Amino acid sequence: MAEKRTEAHHQNAEGLDIQAPDAILSFLADAQIEAAKAVRGAIPAIAAAAEIVAERLKDGGRLAYAAAGSSGLMALADALELPGTFGIGRDRIAILIAGGDEAFRTLAGGPEDDTDEASAAVAAAGIGERDCLIAISASGSTPYAVAALEHARSRGAATIAIANNRDVPLFRSADVAIVLETPPELIAGSTRMGAGTAQK
């Protein structure tokens, strides 16, 4: 498996805590710009994914999102904005986030490893052959996202995977794999920053 860029050391991370505030903010701004640039290389895959989503919605299907932690928040933001921006009925959108409603109050780490919860969420949402599920994971190996995608695929749904690393488990069962190769996070482990920017 390829090295996870999301977990690599950022060149400006060393001594960040002793830098002047304006220097830190400049580093953070530059990191966000670099993260957003990662989307350009993924445009062909994003276009292929958009066609699949449009097809399923046109045929009366639904769009589901499955993710954990910060990626779950990106999914939630996108899903909640679809009705107002694109006129897609809320009943045509399903949001599956590790930890369920409790995740909206606290992003505990445990639920992201719960594959049984992921499979149960897909089944409870009734995801099937007319639908499309987008699974999102910065690392590309979050068990909840991987299990949700695999279970949705087994039920006949189209599947799209979004991750910030190449050659990851999330891509194995996806109809379309979207690789957002963001640079290492300036603040280690904070994938809600650069990776989250590219995902959104």
112 annotated active-site: yes
State the catalytic residue, choosing from 3, 55, 81, 129. 81
Cβ atoms 67, 147 nearer than 8 A: no
Cβ atoms 164, 5 nearer than 8 A: yes
81 annotated active-site: yes
61, 101, 120, 135 from 98: Cα distances, Å: 23, 9, 11, 12
State the catalytic residue, choosing from 112, 117, 150, 185. 112
Catalytic positions are 81, 112
